[in-house]
Amino acid sequence: MTIPETVRFEGGIDGRLFMIDQTLLPQEFTEILCPTVEVVWEAIKKLRVRGAPAIGIAAGFGVVIGVQPALDKSRAEFDARLAEVIDYLATSRPTAVNLFWALDRLKKVGLNAGAEESPRDVAEKLLAEALQIQSDDRAICRAIGKYGSALIQDGWGVHTHCNAGGLATADFGTALGVCFACAEEGKKIHVYADETRPLLQGARLTTWELMQRGIPVTLICDNMAAQVMREGRVQAAVVGADRIAANGDAANKIGTYQLAIVAKEHGVPFYVAAPKSTFDLSIATGVEIPIEQRDPKEVTCGFGKQTAPDGVDVYNPAFDVTPAKYITGIITEFGVISPVTEENVRKALGE
């Protein structure tokens, strides 16, 4: 089963950007057209596109869309527009480091462009860079899947949280990429997917992807993880990440930290699957990772139905940070970092 691209760009510098609207899955599969940078910003902010690698890809193409109105203006006007677009997209979400990594790559393209190059010449280079980010991610996902699959045995149960599959990347996924690689190799695994409150990315997206590929999956509520592990149903946990500090502390969807603690208690190896672009070596530990706070209505009025009294105080962080001591290994496109220490992280990343 081939799942359509999460982010799809058609044509040249005057082309069009499409995204799967993940807020409508699994009931409705719809691609949305993103004709302006404002629509791209809204798609990232509202989680129509989500998952750290996919956010980075969307931001790259968003820059191309954003500079289209300045293609036939002066170079000075084009450069000003490029800077404005990059700064604007950077305000969409604070935690996923891939967003800023991709924008920095596009910014360098603009800064390195020769003064004699026309706006259209620079735009061609911007588009080429955005396409390269997407292409690289496809290869990265496959490599992560390969290294991760070696850690999973035939017949195992695999626990995952949120969605780190093809919908969150350019192709295969990170955490789910491990599961997909296992299936391609003929391993019989059974995935236990947390629903992932409050926006149910696990229930809506992860189960959908696994079912599309014919991989057995059981959906559980987030607060059932300890019982599932106590019963011996899972032998490994694999999750994605949105930002990883130099010491290996990993930020991921809220609820990941408690899953890691439960896994430690039950002797279940806990793996984080993420590409090099998700590491932020400028941050020493996870304490420094900015945590996005989201609309309280996501908790009190989830999917249009009010489930809490008016006026109740709500705390709604989108992410939490799992300390490196709870992480058995970080699965990257270069191999598995284990044990997870700053020395091993920097060595693996060539820093």
Q: What is the pLDDT of residues 247-301, one digit of tens each?
A: 999 999 999 999 999 999 999 999 999 999 999 999 999 999 999 999 999 999 9
Contact 16, 35 (CB under 8 A): yes
pLDDT score of 157: 98
Domain ranges of the chain: 7-141, 151-348
Q: At what angle do helices 52-67 and 97-112 cross, to 10 degrees?
A: 40
Residues labelled as active-site residues:
242
Average pLDDT over residues 202-230: 97
| Other residues' Cβ atoms within 10 Å of the Cβ of residue 108 | 11
DSSP string over 305-346: ---S-TT-----BSEEEE-GGG-SEEEETTEEE-S--HHHHH
Q: What is the pLDDT of residues 31-70, one digit of tens each?
A: 999 999 999 999 999 999 999 899 999 999 999 999 999 9
Q: What is the pLDDT of residues 185-200, one digit of tens each?
A: 999 999 999 999 999 9
Q: What is the pLDDT of residues 290-327, one digit of tens each?
A: 999 999 999 999 888 999 999 999 999 999 999 999 99
Contact 334, 349 (CB under 8 A): yes
CA atoms within 13 A on the CB side of 229: 26
Distance CA 82, CA 336 (A): 37
Average pLDDT, the chain: 96
Percentage of residues in the chain having pLDDT higher than 90: 95
CATH class in words for 7-141 = mainly alpha
Q: What is the pLDDT of residues 119-162, one digit of tens each?
A: 999 999 999 999 999 999 999 999 999 999 999 999 999 999 99
Domain 151-348, CATH: 3.40.50.10470
* Residues recorded for the chain: 351
